[in-house]
Amino acid sequence: MKRRAFLKGTAVATGALALSACHRPKEQDAVSGAMINRGRVETLKLATSWPAHFPIMGTGVDRFAKRCEALSGGSLKISVYAKNILVPALQVFDACSAAQIDAFHSGVYYWKGKNPAFSIFGGMPLGFLSEEMLTWFKFGGGYALWRELYGKFNLYPLVGGTTGPQMGGWFKKKITRLEDLKGLKMRIPGLGGEVMKKLGVNPVLLPAGEIYTALERGTIDATEWVGPALDKMMGFYKAAPYYYKGWHEPGSILELTFNKKRWEKLSEEHRAIITAAAEEMTATMLQEFRYENAKALREMPKSVEICDFPETFYKAAHDALAEVLEEQSAKSADFKRVLESYNAFYTLNKPYDDISTKHLLEIR
């Protein structure tokens, strides 16, 4: 019934659009879709991979929806659905591709099975920080590639937040030598997981709700999650006291992705509002993560020990990553092409970053 009502609504809206187009000058008519919304109310269904109002990520998308409504004078309503309400958490990509939902908010690395290249859009171990990722998307060709490859799934992606540097994770035992990693079971997704595998770790994927119990019972020996704020909330410190500095997710990207056909049907005004609100959401989320992480670190129980991996680990991780990237490039032409674009910006940016950001962080 709901679907029928929705279809009817679309037909009416399209009719109204065709009528108003008659009164517009020719050059405006040549642009696809409607330009000015003229008060027509659009309602979009957006599903997330997070529990309702999940701190920072979930509240970020709630705020985004409110901003769209405010900026559009109430003509753009985005209904946000927590995970598993409309579709299971990790089926949002397929559901949006098939137009069962209009949009989703999730993490890009979940979809590497669709195309291995997607993992690079989510972030690179030992690679770009959030600000560099955002610069690569906007100025270094990242967005063009992401949209081209998502376009094949009838999807249109926008960055929908970024986490800033993530921590290396919680370990039940200290890692003092590279050998200590051998045979460990660790919850770690994405390219970071592939690197760990090469170092002898057995990477596993667990839904958020199962990680703490698995760690407590010793089903897994270690887990990464995000950073102090969200990690503290999950209580991992009670089961694994060694908290390692980060390396595998220096600037992970969250996505705000739309069904492409639906996106193209939106008025130019609504598309501009969504784009601006997504930019605002991304900036705010990065700031909120920084503030909340700093605060949570200060309030971390005394039993927590902040640790650094041994020097040999970083050397080995760099070598393992190079192998992983080479293997993926040999398997996937898309991966190779995205990696080349990523590397081109890395090469351009590094000399400047070394004499600016890196220098300033060291001297201040």
Q: Which stretch binds Ca ion (CB under 5 A): 6-14, 138-146, 166-174, 259-267?
A: 166-174
Query: 96 or 254, CB closer to Ca ion?
Result: 254
Q: Which stretch binds Ca ion (CB under 5 A): 52-60, 72-80, 108-116, 159-167?
A: 159-167
**Smallest distance from Ca ion to CB 248, Å:** 8
Q: Which stretch binds Ca ion (CB under 5 A): 115-123, 136-144, 161-169, 320-328?
A: 161-169
**Smallest distance from Ca ion to CB 237, Å:** 16
**Smallest distance from Ca ion to CB 208, Å:** 10
In the window 24-63, what residues touch Ca ion (CB under 5 A)?
A: none
Query: 105 or 271, CB closer to Ca ion?
Result: 105
Report yes or no: 237 and 303 within 8 Å, Cβ to Cβ.
Answer: yes
**Smallest distance from Ca ion to CB 247, Å:** 12
Query: 166 or 267, CB closer to Ca ion?
Result: 166
Q: Which stretch binds Ca ion (CB under 5 A): 151-159, 165-173, 295-303, 310-318?
A: 165-173
In the window 236-255, what residues touch Ca ion (CB under 5 A)?
A: 249
**Smallest distance from Ca ion to CB 171, Å:** 15
Query: 61 or 191, CB closer to Ca ion?
Result: 191
Query: 225 or 345, CB closer to Ca ion?
Result: 225
**Smallest distance from Ca ion to CB 205, Å:** 11
Query: 140 or 251, CB closer to Ca ion?
Result: 251
**Number of residues in contact with Ca ion under rule CB under 5 A:** 2
Interface positions with Ca ion (CB under 5 A): 166, 249
